Amino acid sequence: MILGSDSISTDSENQGASLLVVSPNGRLRQELRERFVYPRWALTESGSGAEAFEYLEDGAAAVLLLDPLLPDLESSEFSTLVAERFPAVQIITLNTHTGRLVLGSTSPTPLSAEIAEALQGEREIPASPSRSDAMLYPHSESRRPMGLPGVIGESRPMLRVAEMTRLVAARDTTVLVTGESGTGKDLIAQAVHLLSPRHKKPLVVINCAAIPESLLEAELFGYTKGSFTGAVQSRIGRIHAAHGGTLFLDEVGDMPLSLQSKILRFLEQGEVQRIGSTDNLRVDVRVVAATNASLKTLVAQKLFREDLYYRLAIFPIQLPQLRERHGDVTLLAQNFVSKFCPHAELSTAALDVLEKHDWPGNVRELRNVLERTSILATDERQILPHHILL
């Protein structure tokens, strides 16, 4: 699972120019299919923002026609994410009620001018359904199961993960994401935040294994001036910084026992107390935790508090190993190649090598292998098995 590539393509002579229509309104998409026909246009359809990211990651569009009434993401946030991850994609906003071009929504180019002309036909394009209808029927008329922002995978285990992630994202329930190292736990945490009502507020990440035990409490809870040597001024902690948004506790299994009771108190009471202060500060924070360790085993070994485990694991999401995700290796490999070596393509023999490997390092290992492969195949048009070093 990866964040999207910036590689977007169109036909060299603007024949079959690639368009992606993003709208939950099936009638509007039908109308646009009739206006933008092959061979002049190559049209792809998406019923939601999350599904659109899948197509963009596959390099499916040079121009995106956006109905701002999306069922899963605010259109402004969606447009910002597209601009950041796929800067080559031109976004044209449509009027939700008429399907016509919103003036000033795009920079004038020959292609956008032609699109605008095609949109100004005599027929009225049916208005989009209400947001409530779109949310009630998010899968209707979509050609593919909806995935998650920044996540690639169509295997049965990953579709289950996507379903569970979307179900819990709309709530404030605490989520525990588990799985081997390199399976993409951080991406699931990001998806929970992006698809939640808190998506406009901060997503604050803290890696419990990367910060020394002596500093972790200060990082999480903050401190007052003079509370310890080096505290030259007061500072809020990461928990307070996530107010209104989401706190992602990565590698939570490495959190020291001495700090676990304070985290439990914060989770149960919604309050933090800075080091050196007696004041309790109310915070509104949704928590997502992740670990590659078995917290049940750590509980049995008295290395993790049992009450904290149950407080974190209200809604567990277990990520599958890459070797369990049949078919996803090819999808991921092609995406990595388009990012690292866009001039080349994977041969059938090379894909066979990748599919047969058991990937103990999961998606992270696959990414590293293909980055190394892109260096070895710099001057090649096709990636062959001898370019792949496992």
Domains of the chain listed by start with CATH number: 17-136 (3.40.50.2300), 156-318 (3.40.50.300), 322-387 (1.10.8.60)
**Is the model more confident about 214 or about 364?**
364
pLDDT of residue 260: 96
pLDDT tens for each residue of 343-354:
889 999 999 999
How far apart are the C-alpha atoms of 221 and 91, rounded to whole Å?
41
* pLDDT score recorded for residue 288: 97
Strand intervals (E) in 47-95: 63-66, 90-93
Which tens digits make up the pLDDT trace of 237-258? 899 999 999 999 999 999 999 8
pLDDT for 316 equals 93
189-238 tens-digit pLDDT:
999 999 999 999 999 999 999 999 888 998 999 888 767 767 667 788 89
C-alpha distance from residue 290 to each of 9, 175, 177, 295, 382 (Å): 36, 8, 5, 10, 38
* Distance separating alpha carbons of residues 9 and 12, to the nearest angstrom: 9
Is residue 12 over pLDDT 90?
A: no
| Mean pLDDT to the nearest integer, 260-272 | 93
Which residues, 6+ apart, have CB-to-CB distance to 318 below 8 Å? Answer: 178, 179
Q: How far apart are the first and last CA of the chain?
A: 19
CA 140 distance to own-chain centroid: 22
Give the residue with greater pLDDT, 36 vs 227: 36
In contact, 153 and 147? CB cutoff 8 Å: yes
Helix (H), strand (E) at residue 246? strand 246-250
Tens of pLDDT, residues 43-78: 888 887 777 887 887 776 889 999 888 776 677 778
Model confidence pTM above 0.85: no
pLDDT band at 99 (very low <50, low <70, confident <90, very high): low
> Hey, what amino acid is at 66?
L
CA dist., res. 295 & res. 301, Å (int): 10
- Whether the CB-CB separation of 108 and 92 falls below 8 Å is answered with no
| Integer Cα distance of 368 and 131 in angstroms | 41
> Residue 381 and residue 358: Cα distance in Å, rounded?
27
Calculate the average pLDDT of the chain.
Answer: 83
Residue given tokens 């492969």 in the structure block:
373
